[in-house]
Amino acid sequence: MLNKYDYYYGAFLSKLVSMQIVPALIEESKERRVYQLETGSNRMKVYSKYATSSTNTWNFRFSDEERERLLQWSDEERHQLFVLICSKKDLLGGEIAILTFDQLLACMDVREKYKEASCRVAIRKKKHSPFLYAYGTSRSLDDALPLTRNFADLLLHTSIPEPV
| Domain spans in the chain, listed from the N-terminal domain onward | 4-156
Question: pTM of the entire structure?
Answer: 0.85
Edge-to-edge order in the sheet of strand 42-53? 24-28, 33-39, 42-53, 81-88, 95-100
Nearest partner of 45 among 65, 24, 63, 30, judged by Cα: 24
Does pLDDT of 131 surpass 70? yes
pLDDT tier at 74 (50, 70, 90 boundaries)? confident
Q: Which is more confidently placed, 6 or 136?
A: 136
Does pLDDT of 82 surpass 80? yes
Q: pLDDT tens, 83-130?
A: 999 998 877 778 999 998 889 988 987 665 555 567 889 999 998 999
Tell me the torsion sign for CA atoms 27, 28, 32, 37: positive
Q: Please check whether the domain covering 4-156 is classified as CATH 3.40.1350.
A: yes
pLDDT cut 70: percent of the chain above it: 87
